[in-house]
Amino acid sequence: MATIETIKIQRELTKIKHPELKKDIVSLGMIGSLDIQEGETNILLKTPNQDRRIQIGLEAQIRQVLTKLEGIGKVKIKFEVDPKLVLDDSNKIPGVKM
C-alpha cells in the first residue's frame, strides 16, 4: 500500500519530462522502485541505455523537484539499465520513417 509520502513524491515526479520524448518519467514506466524510510528517499530509475547525459539531467530535475517537498530528507537516486525497457514514443506519425 502506498503511503501519503510516496503518493506525493510520485505526483512530483510526473513533472519531470524525459528530455527526448517530452513525456513524464512516471508514465514512461521509468520508476523501478520508490522507497522512503528513516528520513531517506531511495529511487531506482530504469533507463533503456547508459546515456549519462540523460541520466545526469534527470537526476538534477528529480533533486530540484523533491527538495521543495517538506520532510523528504536525503534523496538517493540509482540508475539501472534495462534494455527491455521500451520508452513509448507515441509522437511518431504512422507510416513515416525517421
Contact, 43 vs 10, CB < 8 A? Answer: no
Count of CB atoms situated within 10 Å of the CB of 53:
8
Q: Which CATH class is domain 4-81?
A: alpha beta
Global pTM? 0.81
pLDDT of 15: 95
pLDDT of 5: 86
Q: Where are the beta strands (DSSP E) in 2-98?
A: 31-37, 40-47, 74-81
Task: List the chain domain ranges.
Answer: 4-81
What stretches of the chain show up as alpha helix (H) in DSSP? 4-13, 52-66
Residue pLDDT, tens place only, 7-58: 999 999 999 999 888 899 999 999 999 998 888 999 999 998 899 999 999 9
CA pseudo-torsion sign 87, 91, 95, 98: negative
